[in-house]
Amino acid sequence: MRKKYWLVLVLIVFISVGCTKEKIVTSRLEPMNIKKLSHELKACVDRRIGDNGIYQLHTSNGNQYLFLNGSNVVQGEEEAYYENIKIEDDKNIAKIYFNELYTADYQDKELESMKLYKILLKDTINSIGIYKNGKETYFDSIDIVE
């Protein structure tokens, strides 16, 4: 488990260094409309819709995305949804925080079980940490979008 974490961390460092074009003073997350994505990014998201999890997506032009998916529910179980999603810079690490909550009310339109954010990192950032419900976790997958 520890090896997997370090492998993911090293991969993130290599991919994220020098990827952004604009000067970013503070890292931030920009919410994306899943219905209005480029064809390539939409295809990648569609491949992950069948699997709940935390995904980092990378495009050929250097953009990075955070995809949170809790939309798959086994009958009788509760559906996951996400709140308080934020990013904070801590020296050279961008830390992404979110809360994963659960509900049995599948019809509540205010709750979103899928969230997609564009990740914009400050120039000095060379790795990303991810925290679910206050505890450090890892990406279930890091996908390259072609």
- pLDDT tens digits for range 4-15: 555 555 555 555
Q: pLDDT tens across 101-110, in order?
A: 998 877 766 6
Domain count, the chain: 1
92-125: buried (b, 16+ CB within 10 Å) or exposed (e) per residue?
ebbbbebebeeeeeeeeeebbbbbbbbbbbbeeb
Residue 11's alpha-carbon distances to 5, 63, 87, 93, in angstroms, are 10, 15, 19, 14
What residues make up the domain containing 133?
A: 2-145
Mean pLDDT, residues 91-113 taken together: 85
Residue 71 phi, psi dihedral angles, 5° rounding: -80, -10
- At 14 the pLDDT is 56
* pLDDT tops 80 at residue 131: yes
Distance (Å, whole) CA 128 – CA 142: 12
Q: Please count the other Cβ atoms lying within 10 Å of the Cβ belonging to residue 128.
A: 24
Instruction: Specify the pTM.
Output: 0.81
